[in-house]
Amino acid sequence: MLGYYVDLAWRSLKRTPILTALMVLAIGLGIGASMTMITVLHVMSGDPAPGLSSKLFVPMLDPRPVLEPGEKQYGINGTPDGFTWPDALNLLQASRADRQVVMAQGVVSVRPRRADLHPFFVHSEYATSQFFAMFGVPFRAGGGWTAGQDRERARVVVLNSKLDHKLFGNATGIGRTVRLHNTDFRVIGVLDDWNPQPIFYHQARHGVYGERDQVFMPLQTAMELKYPINGHFSCWGDGNDSYESPDCTWAQFWVELDDPVKVLAYQRFLDGYLGAQHAHGRFPRDARPRLFGMMDWLMHEDLIPGNLKMQMWLAIGFLIVCMLSVVALLLAKFLRRSGEISVRRALGARRRDIFTQFGIESAAIGAAGGLLGLAVAELGLWSVRHGPGGYATLATMDLPMVVGTVVLAIVASLLAGLLPAWRACLVQPALQLKVQ
């Protein structure tokens, strides 16, 4: 029976090629536009560290003074921009998590020894020693630094493979020196390819995408050399605005906790820390410390820029209008065949049969529209890739999205066909024959 309906659908669509083409076009445009935006948002909110993300946590304390009425709240959606250095150092030294890292980001100038290279700037990551182990960063050669080197403020750096290649060619630069700003550093490690998207460990009020860090060095080294930090550095009170001030938030503190029991224990530890600090008159807001899971934290930072969300809603609005048009066209197409329906009904077809027949016809149109939609979405993603924004290069469809596109198109056109098919199966057998 199914084969018969498919055959009927095929004949019917062939009979009105222009109408069919228009319906396919409407579905294709709507699905293509929506899937372009859905794909962009999907790749932007993916898990940048699969396997690790469930073990990584971002504690957040709020050391800021009580907000005066009318005062503007700075920070990331209610939480501060980061930790103060004294708090970060205390928690680092307490070492109550499986691993913990304090970090910040900046830009340094590289002054190559080679005569054919002009000086240039690169993004730099300043972190404590467990950064590489905690985030599963792969090394091509050498390795990271030790906690001891953190304390000694050692002049050591890890380069990413691109910068290593640029400076030292095919031989790795391990053991050689590189001049950053006015200081010589010894290269102790070279990373393998590693570029998680979004760059989850960066401080951000929105997601950071693209290519960033090329140089990694001990945080305390960068602090001693007074390297500037990119990102939000908020201070209050009349104290000094130095990195070490207890009244300036800027540092990011992340921990690794391998099981739920440890997560609970760490939350208790943070609560205890807050209590102890109260004794010193700090933390006037008395907000309970929070412990974000990594994916929750990314959500909290609000990865997706507002204009992209708006574009997605626009695309969905467009899809709805497209589908309404398809409903109208299908209604026209199905009811035009009232004569045929009534004959089939008179010959014994049940309402259910008519309904199935038209359902299959809608699905066939949907499938064709889905294929066109795929082409439109590929075109849309191609244009996103050639546009601005660090996320541009990410904009490609994976297999689930391809399948999802066609499925969405079929489901949408089935929904669109629901009303017309229902109207069609209400056609009275006898009445239609009489009128004819």
Partner 1 sequence: MMEVQPILATLRHHKLIAALLALLVALTCGIVCNVAFMIQRQAALVRLPSGVAENELVTIESVSLGHDRNAVVQHKADLAALRALPEVRNAAVVAGLPLSGSGWSMGVPTGPESESPVDASAYYGSPGELATLGLKLVAGRDFRADEYVPLDRSHGVAGLDRVPAAIITRALAERLWPGQNPLGKAIYPGKGAARIVGVVDRLLRPNADSGSDNYLSMLLPMLPNDRDVTYVLRTAPQDRARVLKQASAALSRLDDDRVLMNKQTFSQMRAAYFQSNHRMIGLLLASALGLLFVAALGITGLANFWVQQRTRSIGIRRALGATRGNILNYFQTENFLIVTVGVVLGVLLAIGLNLLLMSHYQLPRLPLWYLPVGAIALWVLGQLAVLAPALRASHVPPVVATRSV
Contacts with partner 1, residue ranges (CB under 8 A):
19, 22, 25-26, 29-30, 33, 109, 111, 118-121, 181-182, 306-307, 310-311, 314-315, 317-318, 320-322, 324-329, 331-333, 335-336, 387-389, 419, 423, 436
Backbone angles phi, psi at 56, to 5 degrees: -95, 135
For residue 191 the two structure tokens come to 């990373």
Q: How far is the CB of 90 from partner 1 (least distance, A)?
A: 32
C-alpha distances out from residue 284 to 11, 61, 371, 395, 405, Å: 76, 11, 59, 45, 52
Q: Which is nearer to partner 1, 65 or 317 (CB)?
A: 317
> If residue 357 lies in a helix (H) or strand (E), which one and from where to where?
helix 351-385
Round to the nearest angstrom and report the end-to-end CA distance of the chain: 28
Residue 305 has a CB neighbour count (10 Å cut-off) of: 14
For residue 47 the two structure tokens come to 């898990």
Q: Which is nearer to partner 1, 330 or 408 (CB)?
A: 330
Q: Which is nearer to partner 1, 67 or 435 (CB)?
A: 435
Q: Which is nearer to partner 1, 33 or 141 (CB)?
A: 33
CA–CA separation, 195 and 313 (whole Å): 30
Q: How far is the CB of 328 from partner 1 (least distance, A)?
A: 4
Q: Which is nearer to partner 1, 123 or 290 (CB)?
A: 123
Q: Which is nearer to partner 1, 100 or 342 (CB)?
A: 342
Q: How far is the CB of 217 from partner 1 (least distance, A)?
A: 18
DSSP string, 222-265: HHHTT--EES--EE-SSS--STT-TTEE-BEEEEE--SHHHHHH
Residue 295 has a CB neighbour count (10 Å cut-off) of: 17
Q: Which is nearer to partner 1, 67 or 332 (CB)?
A: 332
Coil/strand/helix, residue 402? helix
Q: How far is the CB of 389 from partner 1 (least distance, A)?
A: 7
Q: How far is the CB of 53 from partner 1 (least distance, A)?
A: 28
Q: Which is nearer to partner 1, 287 or 343 (CB)?
A: 343
Residues 6 or more apart from 5 whose CB is under 8 A from it?
356, 357, 360, 361
Backbone angles phi, psi at 410, to 5 degrees: -70, -45
Q: How far is the CB of 181 from partner 1 (least distance, A)?
A: 7
Q: How far is the CB of 204 from partner 1 (least distance, A)?
A: 18
Verify cis geometry, omega within 30 degrees of 0, for the bond prior to 198.
Answer: yes
Q: Which is nearer to partner 1, 36 or 129 (CB)?
A: 36
Q: How far is the CB of 26 from partner 1 (least distance, A)?
A: 5
DSSP string, 274-321: HHHHHTTT--TT-PPPEEEEHHHHHHHHT-S-HHHHHHHHHHHHHHHH
Q: How far is the CB of 312 from partner 1 (least distance, A)?
A: 12
Say if CB 85 and CB 224 are below 8 A apart: no
**Residue 81 DSSP code:** S
Q: How far is the CB of 399 from partner 1 (least distance, A)?
A: 27
CA–CA separation, 92 and 151 (whole Å): 12
Q: Which is nearer to partner 1, 276 or 433 (CB)?
A: 433
- Beta strand 252-256 with 56-60 is antiparallel
Q: Which is nearer to partner 1, 24 or 103 (CB)?
A: 24
**Burial of 337: CB neighbours in 10 Å, binned 0-12, 13-18, 19+:** middle
Q: How far is the CB of 333 from partner 1 (least distance, A)?
A: 8
Return the sign of the alpha-carbon dihedral for residues 349, 352, 353, 354.
Answer: positive
Return the sign of the alpha-carbon dihedral for residues 396, 401, 406, 411.
Answer: negative
